A and B are shown apart, each in its own frame.
Chain A
Amino acid sequence: MNATSSTVDGITVITAEGSIDSKTASAFESTAIGAVQGQSQVIIDLTKVDFLSSAGLRVLLVAYRQVKARNGKVVLVGTSEEIQDVMSDTGFLGYFVTVDTLAEGLATLKAA
């Protein structure tokens, strides 16, 4: 698992790669939580994430809460069908905007 953050057109983008399990979720969490500080528009790019356990869901939950506290929005990019199934099953899906590409994600937030 590898997680990085960047700013694209003024919007915070967190990009994760690989498998997010109880071992690797802490690295994802520190990147994500550091990046969302003070932000109300955040993109989390999961295109290259092939596995996300409940430990990863918890990171999404923590990031969501911080951004939501500023009435902001979290957009998930490239979430696999399997991960979307898990998010649906746990009632997470409706709280995030999900799009296929980073360009769509940026457009969604700019239009907001």
Chain B
Amino acid sequence: MERTTFPGTLDSLEGIRLVVKEQAQQAGLAKKPTYALLLAVDEIATNIITHGYDENGGSGPVDVLISHADGKLSVTLEDDAVAFDPLKHTLPDEQFFAQPLENRPIGGMGIHLTLNGVDEFKYEYVNHRNRNTFIMKTEPASAPA
């Protein structure tokens, strides 16, 4: 398990992407799923920093925990901001995406991209901390018996 602590500011986004990318490469994750994972982590980290900390006048760390076992690369972001479950937010539906770009509301795309890009996404609130976990499969699924 690799743990790296970043200050909860937008300046940390680049460093967070770098540690996730390094571990994804070590885990042998292919280029496209690696990009999807980086994007998912970036979107949620942005939400933690801007909504969780900044808009509530708070500050704190974003811890990045990465592990690779049993064909699964797992990235967890932990923070001390107010409880925020991304899955409880209204996701843009088909109607949203069917609207021409000139009319559609700005925003609402980050969580969609997150859920769409990773194999599994989990949210928990444990010991007064938000835990957002992203899981990518790193080995081809075995053929059905």
Q: Which residues of A contact B (CB under 8 A)?
A: 19, 21-23, 51, 53-55, 57-58, 61-62, 64-65, 68-69, 81-82, 85-86, 89-92, 95
Q: Tell whether, in the assembled complex, residue B46 and residue A58 are in contact, meaning their CB atoms are under 8 Å apart.
A: no
Q: Tell me the complex Cα distance, A85–B109, Å.
A: 14
The stretch of B62-70, B74-82, B110-118, B130-138 in contact with A is B110-118
Q: Using a Cβ–Cβ cut-off of 8 Å, how many residues does chain B contribute to the interface with A?
A: 29
- Determine if A82 and B32 form an interchain contact, defined as CB atoms under 8 angstroms apart: yes
The complex places the Cα of A64 from the Cα of B101 at a distance, in Å, of 8
Residues on B with C-beta less than 8 A from A55 are: 46
| Contact status A65-B10, CB under 8 Å | no
When the two chains form their complex, are residues A22 and B13 in contact, meaning their CB atoms are under 8 A apart? yes
Q: Cβ of A82 and Cβ of B107 under 8 Å apart?
A: no
- In contact, A19 and B101 (Cβ under 8 angstroms): no
Q: Say yes or no: is B100 at the interface (Cβ < 8 Å to chain A).
A: yes
Q: Are the C-beta atoms of B113 and A86 separated by less than 8 Å? A: yes
Task: Report how far A33 CA is from B128 CA in the complex, Å.
Answer: 41
- Asked if B11 is an interface residue, CB under 8 A from chain A, the answer is yes
CA–CA, A19 and B39, complex, Å: 11
Beta-carbon contact of B109 and A21 below 8 Å: no
Asked whether A22 and B106 contact (CB < 8 A) given A51-B17, A61-B101, A90-B112, the answer is: no
Q: How far is the CA of A62 from the CA of B104 in the complex (A)?
A: 11
Do A23 and B106 form a contact, CB below 8 Å, given A51-B38, A91-B97? no
**Quick check: B109 and A54 within 8 Å, CB to CB?**
yes
Residues of B within 8 A of A91 (CB): 97-98, 101
* Shortest CB distance A41–B (Å): 18
A21 contacts B46, CB within 8 Å?
yes
A-B contact pairs, 18 of them (CB 8 A): A21-B14, A21-B46, A22-B13, A22-B46, A51-B35, A53-B42, A54-B43, A54-B109, A54-B110, A54-B113, A55-B46, A61-B101, A65-B101, A82-B31, A82-B36, A85-B36, A86-B113, A89-B113
